[in-house]
């Protein structure tokens, strides 16, 4: 089934560090939270979030998410597009279920990957796809480069995707969503050290973990006030205490993205 390496685009996942050990020593809650949606969250639909796109292989097997920002442009993660070609990917809109056959399937005529991208943990994790077929769905607006105040610590952000519902679990057949608080850059720096590139990344999650994006959610949206402000990028495991999810900080890439959206 998900045999190919495109099935789960895994941005470098950090191994547990001394910080994790320290967290354990300080005493994690004794009862592990039951595995839940995205990880933690609820089911939703592409009717509720029409701009959430499945990014699939040519056989329509989903491996990443994306956000429709104009009828023919989709923002996703650069790491989702590594090794892909215009012929190897499709974008599927209006399909709530992975095993559905409804909605609109489009071929991709151009893949723009941020030319500075090397690895998700180095930042620059943004790509823009140009669709061959227009999507008849409501688009999302995205932050402009001056909107940097949206990332104030504690602000509620919404995450969406079909990814795994626990760290080593399986994907959700139905689109899921959850809300998570934006984490202060200083806090994310404490979690990830130099892997956290403040200019290019923003973190979101609870100190105690439990709610997060996970494998297969990459490329999908982090919305703040309904506006696309982040792109699911990487994390240490999923929903672990002390390790928030890391999202591309879209304000940094907004002008670059706009050049592609208008091209
Ligand atoms: N790299 C993953 C993907 O390709 C996303 C991981 C997000 N991880 C997290 N803990 N928030 O789907």
Would you say residue 9 has pLDDT above 70?
no
Rounded distance between C-alpha atoms, residue 29 and residue 256, angstroms: 43
Give, for 156, the enclosing helix (H) or strand (E): strand 156-161
In the chain, how many domains are there? 1
Is 170 one of the catalytic residues?
no
In 118-198, which residue ranges form alpha helices assigned H by DSSP? Answer: 185-192
pLDDT digits (tens, 9 = 90+) for 16-50: 333 333 333 233 333 344 444 478 999 999 999 99
Q: Please write the tens of the pLDDT for every residue from 206-250.
A: 999 999 999 999 999 999 999 999 999 999 999 999 999 999 999
Testing ligand 1's pocket by substitution, the residue of 80, 157, 245 carrying the most ligand atoms inside 8 A of its CB is 245
Specify whether 79 is catalytic: yes
Largest CA distance in the chain: 54
Cβ proximity of 135 and 71 under 8 Å: yes
Domain that holds residue 159: 1-263
Give residue 7's pLDDT band: very low, low, confident or very high (50, 70, 90).
very low
Kindly report the CATH number assigned to the domain that includes residue 233: 2.40.10.10
Q: Which atom of ligand 1 is nearest to the CA of 120?
A: 1
C-alpha distances out from residue 38 to 43, 116, 215, 216, 257, Å: 9, 29, 9, 9, 26
Measured torsion, CA atoms of residues 93, 111, 216, 250, in degrees rounded to the nearest 10: -90
Instruction: Report which ligand 1 atom has the smallest distance to the Cα of 236.
Output: 10
């Amino acid at each position: 089934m998900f045999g190919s390496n495109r099935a789960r685009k895994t941005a470098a996942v950090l191994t547990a560090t001394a910080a994790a050990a320290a967290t354990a020593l300080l005493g994690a809650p004794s009862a592990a939270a039951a595995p839940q949606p995205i990880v933690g969250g609820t089911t939703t639909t592409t009717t509720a979030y029409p701009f959430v796109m499945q990014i699939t292989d040519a056989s329509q097997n989903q491996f990443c998410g994306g956000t429709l920002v104009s009828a023919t442009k989709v923002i996703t993660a650069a790491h989702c597009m590594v090794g892909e070609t215009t012929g190897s990917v499709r974008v599927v809109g209006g399909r709530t279920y992975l095993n559905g056959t409804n909605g609109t399937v489009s071929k991709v005529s151009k893949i723009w990957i941020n030319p500075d991208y090397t690895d998700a943990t180095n930042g620059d994790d943004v790509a823009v796809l140009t669709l061959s077929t227009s999507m008849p769905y409501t688009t999302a607006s995205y932050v402009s480069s001056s909107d940097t105040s949206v990332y104030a610590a504690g602000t509620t952000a919404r995450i969406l995707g079909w990814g795994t519902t626990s760290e080593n679990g399986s994907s959700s057949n139905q689109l899921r969503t959850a809300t998570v608080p934006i984490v202060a850059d200083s806090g994310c720096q404490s979690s990830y050290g130099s892997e956290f590139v403040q200019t290019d990344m923003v973190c979101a999650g609870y100190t105690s973990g439990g709610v997060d994006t996970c494998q297969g959610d990459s490329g999908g949206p982090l919305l703040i006030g309904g506006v696309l402000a982040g792109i699911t990028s990487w994390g240490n495991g999923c929903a672990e205490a002390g390790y928030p999810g890391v999202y591309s900080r879209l304000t940094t890439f907004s002008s670059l993205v706009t050049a592609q959206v208008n091209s």
